[in-house]
Amino acid sequence: MNRSRSSWDKKAAQPPVTRLTRSSSSTQTRQSDTTETQESGPGLYGKQRKKQTDSALAQDLSQMRVSGQDGLSTSKAKMSKGSSDSVQAAQSSGSRSDLSSPSEVSAKSSSRGGLASVARLVKLGRCKNVVVVAGAGISTASGIPDFRTPGTGLYANVEKYNIPYPEAIFNIDYFSNDPQPFFSLAKALYPGSHRPNYIHYFIRMLHHKGLLLRMYTQNIDGLEKVCGIPDDKLVEAHGSFATASCHLCYTTYPAEEAKHAIMSDNVPICTFCAATVKPDVVFFGEDLPQKYFLHTKDFPKADLLIIMGTSLQIEPFASLVNTVRSTVPRLLLNRHAVGPFERVPLRRGDHVELGDLEDTVRRFAEMLGWNNEIEELMRSQETLSLPALISNPPPVSGQTPCQSRGASEPPARMETSRSRPGAQRGASSGSSEETDSETDSKSSASSSLSN
Ligand code: CNA
């Protein structure tokens, strides 16, 4: 059955509807609360201070930047306000890429030692529960534009979508009124035409080494799965194209049929309420998938947080980075300092490596002695997966939109700090129904290598 209808008759045929409002975020807690309550444990650096067991660690400690304001600035209001202020200041200066900002200078000056310090910690076996937080910047090397890079980012090229402001393309109310701008973009973003790059395989190698606790990605390109990061190690916080459902009543819809309709310039229509179907990519104002709530278990457990290729502008995702224990090292790999890494001085244990992400990750891998293995992994995976991908699309999480939007947990809704400057910054807390797979055994990694 052809469930779609031509884009040209869509507006006339769609019945007037009452919009469903997804549940509010009244139960949300500020991430800074979580951080504060989790500071009591000794943490990685706490242990180091006590033991001082080797000169490498002593050197690490000498490179750590200790902010005298750390304790003072942990008041909930200040942490939240300070962070959004710096974001807004950067925005009002016209570009987030202003390299002359003080934080940028500070971050640059501390960057080289930072990467080496973290590599040393990993080699010493101090980081066994690594959480990776990623954004569109990890996929630009695969040829997929990010949102905000001036010139090449999608937001700089939205004229062709005929929308009043860039974020409209991912605004659910705008989509409800006119899905065409998003569908035009979706045609370019649909997984299939892009390949994972070195950065994706570096993260896959973290898993292979048994070090990856979880990867939280905002990306919707599916490249994490294509490179072989297993489903239980991955949280696609902003959804994906792997499933589709009605944007109003959430009735599921076959993803392949939705794709076919969109690629053919038709509009997939819900068989239940006749509203427009969309891929389960999370729009502003929509709830994040249930799996996102794994963060409440993962972040307190993390012993290293790596943040890659994101401007940390979209909430509640952006605030996740504040929920590791304050003693846990955080490493930002990005072209520009973002979020809490704009702060001067950096929080103790924070490290920033600025520059092209692929170059940085290659250097990181070389410091770790992983480069050859990653190259080999890339070769083997690409050889294995290309023919398989053609006949067999990458596996999907198995989460249906109904499951992912279950009513049992408080939802988190996606917002930009930019579009909602006064909005509460912070992720919802809640428990997860997902199995918490803690270990990344080498055997499971090896078997996934041969998939
Ligand atoms: P963003 O706001 O565009 O930020 C990307 C960040 O990565 C910026 O700080 C860039 O400076 C940085 N960056 C980009 N390329 C490189 C590079 N080669 N080396 C170093 N740094 C680089 O995107 P975010 O991920 O922060 O925003 C989240 C949005 C983007 C999510 O909702 C996604 O769905 C959405 N998005 C995803 C994709 C994708 O799936 N590949 C593409 C475009 C947008």
On whether the CB atoms of residues 56 and 116 are closer than 8 A, the answer is: no
Nearest in space to 118 (alpha carbons), one of 346, 329, 373: 329
Residues having CB within 6 Å of any atom of ligand 1: 135-137, 139-141, 144, 146-149, 153-154, 218-221, 238, 309-311, 313-314, 334-336, 338, 356-357
Shortest-distance Cα residue to atom 16 of ligand 1? 137
Neighbour tally for 49: CB within 10 Å: 14
How many angstroms is it from 418 CA to the middle of ligand 1? 15
The answer for 312, left when phi > 0, alpha when psi is -120 to 50, beta otherwise, is left
How many angstroms is it from 136 CA to the middle of ligand 1? 3
Report the nearest atom of ligand 1 relative to the CA of 313: 26
How many angstroms is it from 138 CA to the middle of ligand 1? 7
Shortest-distance Cα residue to atom 41 of ligand 1? 136
- Rounded-to-integer distance, Cα 429 and Cα 371, Å: 37
On whether the CB atoms of residues 361 and 188 are closer than 8 A, the answer is: no
- Rounded-to-integer distance, Cα 395 and Cα 368, Å: 30
Residues designated catalytic? 238
Burial label for 341, CB within 10 Å (0-12, 13-18, 19+), is buried
| pLDDT (0 to 100) of residue 412 | 62
Amino acid at 299: F
DSSP for 254-280 reads -HHHHHHHHHTTEEEB-TTT--BEEEE
CA 288 to chain centre: 12
DSSP annotation of 94 reads T
| pLDDT (0 to 100) of residue 415 | 65
Ligand 1 pocket mutation, candidates 97, 146, 226, 288, criterion most atoms within 8 A of CB: 146
How many angstroms is it from 91 CA to the middle of ligand 1? 16
How many angstroms is it from 135 CA to the middle of ligand 1? 5
| pLDDT (0 to 100) of residue 386 | 55
Report the nearest atom of ligand 1 relative to the CA of 140: 15
| pTM, two decimal places | 0.71
Burial label for 419, CB within 10 Å (0-12, 13-18, 19+), is middle
CA 21 to chain centre: 25
Nearest in space to 298 (alpha carbons), one of 269, 276, 258, 328: 328
CA angle 5, 193, 215 (to 5 degrees): 105
Entry field: residues in the chain: 451
Ligand 1 pocket mutation, candidates 140, 147, 161, 292, criterion most atoms within 8 A of CB: 147
Shortest-distance Cα residue to atom 26 of ligand 1? 310
Burial label for 280, CB within 10 Å (0-12, 13-18, 19+), is buried
- Rounded-to-integer distance, Cα 23 and Cα 408, Å: 11
Q: Please give the average pLDDT of every successive group of 10 residues along the chain, which has 451 residues.
A: 43 33 30 36 37 35 28 27 32 28 41 82 98 97 90 81 87 95 89 92 98 97 95 97 96 97 97 97 94 98 98 96 97 97 93 97 98 96 62 37 32 52 33 37 34 31
Nearest in space to 57 (alpha carbons), one of 397, 329, 245: 329
How many angstroms is it from 419 CA to the middle of ligand 1? 17
Report the nearest atom of ligand 1 relative to the CA of 142: 41
Q: How far is CA 95 from CA 138, 151, 307, 340, in A?
A: 20, 11, 21, 17
